[in-house]
Amino acid sequence: MLKYLRTYCIVTISVAQLFGTSLWFSANSAAFDLMHEWNINISDIGLLTNAVQTGFILGTLLIALLGIADRYKASVIFSYSALFGGLFNLCFAWLASNIYEALIFRFFVGVSLAGIYPIGMKLMIEWAPEKAGQALSVLVAMLTLGTALPYAFNSISTDLPWRYIISTSTFLAFFAGILIFSLGDKPRIQGEQKLKKASPFVHFSAFKNPRFQAAAIGYFGHMWELYTFWTLVPLIIVQTQINEHFKNFNLSILVFTVISVGALGCILGGMLTQYVHNRIIALSALALSGFCCFMYALGWEILPAWALFTILIVWGISVVADSPQFSALSAQACRPEQLGSALALQNSIGFLLTIVSIGISTYAFDRIGVNAVWIMLIGPIIGIMGYLKFDQKTLNTSRKL
């Protein structure tokens, strides 16, 4: 009975994550409409993305520094966050008339997402602690599909104004909040030890642990690449004229395909955790995404469209497959009473890096075009080198003990 209950909860949290995170790139799905209607450029689209990222960083910092994730019910935090995120998304769609107003509303969407993504991770780990890698793989797969979902709506509703497409994400977020509010938190089993009350700064001690340090630096390298890749995908496809080669498919469905296949990478990585250590899966995925970045940067001017699109597909699969494994490694290195806050803080730092990466890359894309993808390669290189360095430190410490 407990097994079926756990499965039901994992499915419910996953669906809620899918619907809730559809708010994230809802504006990007209308990028070309916004560029035409508001007379803005690629850098401005990067600003819209970074407004969400900035809000998310502030939100996760508040959650981490105040210990909110470990002091209050995760289901309540998630539900209210989904409600307010949906409302701010609706305001962006119907009240914003220029880039400046849009930035304000997208910022608050980002703040709200801080109560959806890391809190969803906490809920998932609570329900399936012994299978953290697999559970988080499902969760990040849903985040990936949620990110791609607005492009899917745009691809099948090309005649609808962009405001209606974006509004769809709002109602999905509302439904996500209802699902989690109805589910509630995992009840403590009789005899289960009650967690110690977390101090507001307990999360900082996690960074003293070499195991957490290794996982975090790998995660940071992954984050440098991931959201910049998702931001640039539609621009890369247009700039390299891949959409002209695949004339039977509109741009939105091509972008949806490249982003959504990342869910397959997450699920596959989660399945492999039964046979291979999380560390190997995470580093392999990060290395593969870095290789795809290198190949695309090197060959975009000479390779045919079908080859470039194939690289984008493999890149899309691998670029996010490492995320749940790095998060699982971080979670395994945390004490229970610091889990929610430590993950929120790690998320906050990771998303701070995305702001820098997206800002530099979109600025560069306006000036040097597709060659800007070289900037993303920094992430996999630093992530792999940093992880191996701190992982070696962990091994050395273990030998001494």
pLDDT tens figures, 222-241: 999 999 999 999 999 999 99
Most confidently predicted of 3-7, 134-138, 142-146: 142-146
| Residues 127 and 11 sit within 8 Å (Cβ to Cβ) | no
Domain residue extents for the chain: 2-184+201-396
**Spatial separation of the C-alpha atoms in residues 210 and 393, rounded to whole Å:** 7
For residue 172, which of 85, 108, 68 has the smallest C-alpha distance? 85
In the predicted model, what is the mean pLDDT of the chain? 87
Sign, CA torsion 153/296/230/96: negative
Taking a C-beta distance cutoff of 8 angstroms, is the pair 273, 325 a contact?
Answer: yes
Percentage of residues in the chain with pLDDT exceeding 90? 55
In this prediction, residue 399 has a pLDDT band, given cuts at 50, 70 and 90, of: very low
The tens digit of pLDDT for each residue in 239-270 reads 999 999 988 888 999 999 999 999 999 999 98
Instruction: Tell me if 65 sits within 8 A of 332, measured CB to CB.
Output: no
Share of the chain above pLDDT 70, in %: 88
Of residues 213, 239, 227, 222, the one with CA closest to residue 330: 213
Which residue, 67, 71, 107, 75, is CA-closest to 89?
Answer: 107
**The domain defined by 2-184+201-396 carries CATH number 1.10.645.10:** no
329: Cβ contacts below 8 Å, ≥ 6 apart: 211, 214, 215, 218, 278, 279, 282
pTM of the model: 0.85
Residue 372: partners with Cβ closer than 8 Å, 6 or more residues away: 232, 361, 362, 364, 365
Look up tokens 């990110």; give the residue: 147
The pair of three-digit structure tokens given for residue 270, joined into one six-digit string = 């989660």
Residue 160, helix vs strand vs coil: coil
- Here the tokens at position 191 are 């005899």
Under DSSP, the state recorded for 197 is: P
What interhelical angle do 323-332 and 132-156 show, nearest 10? 150
**Tokens linked to 210:** 């070499």
User: What confidence tens digit (pLDDT) does each residue in 306-344 have?
Assistant: 999 999 999 999 999 999 899 888 878 777 666 667 777
d(CA 125, CA 167): 31
